[in-house]
Structure 1
Amino acid sequence: MKIVCAPDSFKGSVSAAEAAAAMAAGAREVLPDAEIVQLPFADGGEGTLEALLAAWDQAPQTVTTVDALGRPTQARYGLSPDGRTAVIEAAEANGLPQVSDGPLQPLRADTYGVGLIARQVLDAGAEEILLCIGGSATTDGGTGILRALGAEFPDHDDAPTPPGGGGLGHIARVDLSEVDPRAHNIRWRIAVDVDNPLTGDRGAAAVFGPQKGATEQDIALLDHGLYQLAEVLAEAAGVSVEQYRDAAGFGAAGGIPLGLVSVFGAEVVPGSAMVSEVLGVEEALAEADLVFTGEGRLDSQSLGGKVVDAIASRAPESCCVVVLAGSVQLSPQHCRAAGITAAFSVAPGPANLEDLQGEAAQLIQETAAHASALCAFQLGR
């Protein structure tokens, strides 16, 4: 029997590697003779850097940058074995955890620190930047990254606009005259883990703003600002604003793709597909009898290009695909329609979040053991 354990991280609890190990341990309790493959996965958000470095057998590079509020911090990036491709996980600089020590500032937070990492990647001689976005505290349309690389965004009085999403609505034009020429010559690929558009009811501000501390008033301001930025950049690029406003994935990480696509011609790619290619997921899943995947919460967003969706869509039709999650918010009908055989919450009963996070690995292992026994019975093993 072949079992593949390919989860995402359970945010705040265990990494993808720890979750995969726990699933494997649970399966081994019931099926000690099975072939078990551990395949920690990621979808372009947090954990993608570690997944790719593990696949490449490379150590991360550590650099100095700033967080989403401009405070000094350390961040990591990765280089492929040939040094040509650099992997930047944006959340290393603009992530929510780094600014969770105080009140969130959704209008002030920006991506400048991500741009500082990119500058150092250019110094390292990389020919391609793979920017993995997700888990951000920012909604600035990528303007912080562009500022760090030399761009300016003056208002109608030709004065600099303030950093962060709160100032986007005042931008009158973009000045690219001082942008580092190396940033134009390098290939940019942006790995996204959602397909949301830039603005509107499913846009960056409306869907993801609340988790970054945005009020209803903030959301309206940020949504208007992103639209204004899209108009300015579309005019500079000679395209229609709808091409930026409605494009799938442009709402990821507070609109980061907008700035990089318009200025550098960056490619937006589904993060799960990119990671699948690097990790050889389809080959690993071949001939599997049971596949475990999972994440912190299984909900409708899980089926929009995230890890669970990527694994379920690539698993052989003949195998059982089991999702383990801290919380399961999809019906059995929705699961089956997505190629998921069954989904189980690892929470044993009423408990506070802190307790569940502290016991996550053990709970995942126990639930995997239960699911393995059921699947083994179903498969006649």
Structure 2
Amino acid sequence: MKVVVAPQSFKGTMTAEQAAERIAVGIAGEVVLLPLADGGDGTLEVLLNVLRGDKHTAIAVDALGREKEAAWGYVDETRTAIIEIARICGIAELKYGEYDPCHATSYGVGQMILTALDFGAATVILALGGSATNDAGAGMAQAVGVALLDSRGREIDRGGLALANLAEVNMSQRDPRIAETEFLVACDVNNRLIGEEGATHVYARQKGATEEDVERLEKAMTRFVEVAGGDIPYGGAAGGLGAGAALFLNGRVMSGVDFVLDQTEFDSCIKDADLVVTGEGSLDAQTAYGKTPYVVGKRAKRAGKCVYAVAGRLGKGYEALLGDPFDAVYTLESWSEQVHRL
């Protein structure tokens, strides 16, 4: 029996590689480990391994505007930069009491893009997920020279709430190299920018927003859409960075999981597999928004494979995933008991 073990990281506890090794313990037969990522935490390592790139560090500001050293990747052969935004403005980079989606900024992402361009990048892979921000990529845009102006022609402040004052977008001073660079935007979720299923309503509470904050941020994001546009599938990824990358970088937004799966040649890998096992830290209703296990399950099902999912915990709504795309769902604990029966 051939089993392909293809999980993403279990946030805060295991990397994708560690999760794959843990799940594989006790499986008899041929086992292929395929650590994955969806654009969020761990994407840099997965892509560096697949594309054979090197890790570098550079200075950029975090979500609260504080300078820090952040890792990024570069593939010399193809002049491709890999920027995982979670390393820059990620929520995992903040202490719990520091969460502030109303004022958090993606400015550091723009700084890292400029670093990549200085390095000679012809292609930039932006891995979106795990952000502490809700600013539609406005900070990123400001860092690369896009002017976001209020009704008096003044630059708006950084942060999601400031979008309520947006009246004009001027890209005349945007770094000219951006027009000559290909931006591939790998998004961890497919949510749009606004609405009940948009970035703010679905994710802002996890980033520290109160109910009042959610309403104010949604109004600000709606103003952004009225002025700049960007209410597109994947636009809501990373607090709206998907939309910002599409609007201000002419980036091509896509499913981060599908992008990584294509890079790892997933379809070829599972061609002769008897079972595919995927997983993440928590399986719940949000898993269906393009998260790694869901996309892995869908692609494996299209290939006629049996698919199991393993999670650190089973959250609200996970039952909807049973049958489509998962034949069975386990916690790590129950999987340890099941694996010996394979």
TM surpasses 0.5: yes
Which residue of the other structure, out of 181, 188, 191, is the alignment partner of 2:186? Answer: 191
Shift of 1:222: 1.1
Match 2:269 to one of 267, 284, 290: 284
Rate the CA distance shift 1:330–1:371 in 2: closer, same or farther, 3 A.
farther
Q: Which residue of 2 aligns with 1:361?
A: none
Q: 1:74 aligns with which of 69, 74, 85?
A: 69
Contact 2:284 2:317 in 1 (8 A): no
Return the offset for 1:169.
0.4
By percentage of residues, which structure has more strand?
A: 2
User: Which residue of 126, 130, 143 corresponds with 1:131?
Assistant: 126
State the alpha-carbon separation in 1 of the partners of residues 142 and 82 from structure 2: 20
Q: Which residue of 1 aligns with 2:95?
A: 100
**Code of the aligned partner of 1:135:** G
Shift of 1:203: 1.1
How far the C-alpha of 1:57 sits from its partner, in A, is 2.9
Name the residue aligned to 1:351: none
Report the TM-score, using the length of structure 1 for normalisation. Answer: 0.85
1:372 maps onto 2:339 in alignment: yes
Q: Does 1:114 align with 2:109?
A: yes
Superposition pairs of residues 257-336 of structure 1, within 5 angstroms: 257-315=242-300, 319-329=305-315, 334-336=320-322
Alpha-carbon distance, 1:283 to partner: 1.2
Matched, 1:163 2:149: no
The higher radius of gyration belongs to: 1
Match of 1:211 among 206, 210, 226: 206
C-alpha displacement of 1:207:
0.8
Is there any run of 5+ residues in structure 1 with no aligned partner, and where? 235-243, 348-366, 377-381
| Distance of 2:260 and 2:219 partners within structure 1 | 33
Note if 1:344 corresponds to 2:330.
yes
CA contact (8 A) 2:284 2:316 kept: yes
Secondary structure at the counterpart of residue 36 of structure 2: coil
Unaligned runs of 5+ in 2: none
CA distance in 1, matches of 2:257, 2:295: 6
Conservation of the 8 A alpha-carbon contact between 2:188 and 2:237: yes
Moved more, 129-138 or 335-344: 335-344
Q: Is the 8 A contact 1:153 1:160 kept in 2?
A: yes
d(CA) in 2 for partners of 1:323, 1:213 = 29
The 3 A distance-change label for structure 1 pair 334 and 207 is closer
Out of 22, 39, 42, the residue aligned to residue 34 of structure 2 is 39
Identity of aligned residues (%): 36
Which residue type is aligned with residue 373 of structure 1?
A: H
1:57-116 deviation line (CA, Å, top 9, x unaligned) = 333111111100011111111123514221111111110021226331111100001111
**Once the two structures are superposed, what CA deviation does each residue of 1:151-176 show, in whole Å capped at 9, x if it has no partner?**
12121122221100011001111122
Q: Which amino acid aligns with 2:337?
A: H
Aligned length: 341
Question: Partners in 2 of 1:9 and 1:23 — Cα distance?
Answer: 12
Query: Matches of 1:24 and 1:271 in 2, distance apart?
Result: 24
Per-residue deviation, 1:333 = 6.3
Judged with a 3 Å threshold, the aligned counterparts in structure 2 of structure 1 residues 135 and 331 are, in CA distance, closer, same or farther, namely closer
TM-score (normalised: structure 2):
0.94
Aligned residue in 2 for 1:58? 53
Contact preservation (8 Å) 2:276, 2:300: yes
Letter in 2 for 1:261: A
